[in-house]
Amino acid sequence: MRIGILGSGLMGGKLGTIFAQAGHEVVFSYSRSQKKLEKLAGDAGGTALAGSPREAANNADALLLAVHWSRVDDVLKQAGNISGKVLITCSLPMNAEDSELIIGHSSSGAEELAKKARGASVVSAFGSVPSEVLFPVFEARGAGTSPHLLYCGDDDEAKEVAAGLIGEVGFDPTDVGLLSSARYIEPFTMLIAKLAYEGDGGPELAYRFERFSS
Ligand SMILES: NC(=O)c1ccc[n+]([C@@H]2O[C@H](COP(=O)([O-])OP(=O)(O)OC[C@H]3O[C@@H](n4cnc5c(N)ncnc54)[C@H](OP(=O)(O)O)[C@@H]3O)[C@@H](O)[C@H]2O)c1
């Protein structure tokens, strides 16, 4: 598939690299540094490219949204018309300090995103994983049990695309239903982040917790 990365920081940079290594044609976009995008593309190897959000969206089979919540409108504007595309989001609706969710209870970031990106098929995935564990999970894929990764969305075909990518990273894709399930996943993710970054165990502990195992 051709996968456009909208936001090439910790999450977009790592997931884009993994998707490229899994054989997809990846376009890294949206950074303040064109050099950084080019280095990401060069290091990822294969056919990976650096481009603008519009170039990343052009002919993309799937898009990964991985920007801070405050940048969502800007990156979507730069991407242009993404109607009909699969839009996988790991972007959480956080405040500027990244300390609190600013949407919850009666909606979620994923649902609000679906209203902004009219016509795109939004799937919420990868938001519950600390970026630090993405490479280790990819490296360990196929060896033993795969950790679960929750995803949700309203469009079955888009969810199939997302589930395939989740599997390629090395997770066991766990469908938790409609996009509105993000109302539960997003607050759960806060707990994961608290364990990962404020607890003593680090991302690895949080990640083990996320597997619902010991
Ligand atoms: N990090 C995690 O472990 C994690 C886990 C789960 C979910 N999330 C969620 O995933 C999303 C992305 O997180 P992240 O940690 O990957 O963020 P990040 O490392 O800060 O990456 C954000 C990307 O947006 C770009 N950007 C920011 N402001 C910009 C601007 N004015 N113009 C152009 N590009 C700009 C950054 O560019 P630069 O390259 O110039 O910095 C970077 O490429 C967030 O919504 C977060 O809540 C993160």
Q: Could you report the per-residue pLDDT of 10-62, keeping only the tens digit for each? A: 999 999 999 999 999 999 999 999 999 999 999 998 899 999 999 999 999 99
Q: Which stretches does DSSP call E strand in the chain? A: 2-6, 25-29, 49-50, 62-65, 86-89, 121-124, 148-153, 172-175
Strands of 172-175's sheet in order across: 49-50, 25-29, 2-6, 62-65, 86-89, 121-124, 148-153, 172-175
pLDDT-above-90 percentage for the chain: 79
Pocket mutation for ligand 1, best pick of 68, 89, 103 (most atoms within 8 Å of C-beta): 68
Distance 90 CA to ligand 1 centre (A): 10
What pTM did the predictor assign?
Answer: 0.95
155-183 tens-digit pLDDT: 999 999 999 999 999 999 999 999 999 99
Ligand 1 atom index nearest CA of 36: 39
Residue 79: how many other CB atoms lie within 10 Å: 26
pLDDT at 212 > cutoff 80: no
